[in-house]
Structure 1
Amino acid sequence: MALVLIFGCENSTKTKETNQNKTTNIKPITFSLAEEEELKKLDSLNLDSSYANLLSPAYNSEENIKEVRRSWSKLHQDLGKYLVEQNFNWGINDSSISLFNKIYFSEDGTIDYYAFKVITPSVSDDKVDEFELLLKEFSSEVKLDLNQKKNFAQCGKSRIMNN
């Protein structure tokens, strides 16, 4: 289960590519927002210029924004379920883990790029790395339940229950 907060993000998202993508370049490409080098790498892609912000009133109606929120929440709930299915353990006693996410989607809702940062400070770097591998697997298997007329992006904070 995940508690999801949605924000309209500006063009300031930053991140890092996983080691698998440096050699294979298979999508989705995941980024960790934890280090400055990774932030520069994501910025260099200039993705915000080609992926519309889903919560922008200029891009979506209020009715469609409700559908965006529903789809975004479901995606994060599914991620939480996936982590449980994979027997992932964060290695801490906190009841939930806070994340910041910015996800870039193709028109059909498949994930092209997934940028994230684990906000909960007690999570170890090793667990963040393990999470990133699972996140990449998850991202390659899911599709946002939302179709659009062009590539789109969404960002926000989420909270994943720590089982």
Structure 2
Amino acid sequence: MRVFFFSLITISVFLFGCDNLASTKKETNDEEKIKNQPITFSLANEEELKKLESLKLDSGYVNLLLPAYNSEENIQKVRRSWSDLHQELGDYLSKNNFDWGVGDSSISLFNKIYFAEDGTIDYYAFKVITPSVSEETTKNFEKLLKEFSSEVKLDLGQNKNFAQCGKSRIMNK
């Protein structure tokens, strides 16, 4: 029996790492987002980073880890859902036989994800932090990430759009 090719070994959530997530007013270009087709951005690509910043998503998605928006009990639920999401991503990559193409024991990622009220993903910005991962592999990862993002839904429905950002580490082989 083959052990999961990838598994999540650590998640680090930045309590205040997302910029300006205090406003609930949505100021995004909704025509750009097709139902169940999240838009992904590679933060390593300067053009994509500028496009993401131009959407001003941080003003329309609240950070659920801020005590102003959630109780401590709900913050724990948010953290669990974040961890579960990344475990599901690792499982999805494994199921699709994704190969990072490097000998590193784990791959580090930075993620900034914007969710609709119902827990579906609207926008997924990421950066592969592990320097040995090639640009081509990152593009292949982004393709699978987009597919994964259109299928996944957090069991964390809210009455407002919300965002989460942080680092994750996925085991490699």
Please give the TM-score of this superposition, normalised by the length of structure 1.
0.90
* Matching of residues 66-105 of structure 1 within 5 Å: 66-105=76-115
Question: Partner letter of residue 144 of structure 1?
Answer: L
Letter in 2 for 1:80: G
> How far apart are the structure 2 equivalents of 1:162 and 1:12?
34
Counterpart for residue 162 of structure 1: 172
Q: Structure 1 residues 25, 112: closer, same or farther in 2, change over 3 A?
A: closer
The unaligned stretches of length 5 or more in structure 2 are 1-6, 22-31
**Correspondent of 1:132 among 120, 142, 155:** 142
1:161 Cα shift?
1.0
Q: Which residue of 2 aligns with 1:17?
A: none
Moved more, 53-62 or 151-160: 53-62
Residue 9 of structure 1 aligns to which amino acid in structure 2? G
1:4 equivalenced with 2:11 (yes/no): yes
Larger proportion of helix: 1
Return the alpha-carbon distance in structure 2 between the equivalents of residues 60 and 25 of structure 1. Answer: 27
Q: TM-score, normalised by structure 2?
A: 0.85
- Which whole-Å CA distance do the structure 2 matches of 1:103 and 1:148 have between them? 15
Matched, 1:36 2:46: yes
- Shift, 1:10, TM fit: 3.0
Q: Secondary structure at the match of 1:131?
A: helix
Q: What are the ranges of 5 or more consecutive residues in structure 1 without an aligned counterpart?
A: 14-23
Cα shift at 1:39:
1.3
The question of 1:54 aligning with 2:64 is answered yes
CA displacement, residues 97-125 of structure 1 (integer Å, 9 cap, x when unaligned)? 00000000011100000000000000000
Identity of aligned residues (%): 72
* Cα distance, 1:81–1:49 mapped onto 2, change above 3 Å: same
Q: Is the 8 A contact 2:20 2:59 kept in 1?
A: no
Figure out how many residues of one structure are paired with residues of the other and give that number.
153
Give the structure with higher Rg (CA).
2
Q: Distance in 1 between matches of 2:141 and 2:57?
A: 23
Letter in 2 for 1:158: S
How well do the aligned residues superpose, as a CA RMSD in angstroms?
1.5
Deviation, structure 1 residue 9? 2.3
The whole-number CA distance in structure 1 between the counterparts of 2:172 and 2:131 is 14
1:126–1:12 CA distance, 2 compared to 1 (3 A) = farther
Q: CA contact under 8 A between 1:9 and 1:53: conserved in structure 2?
A: no
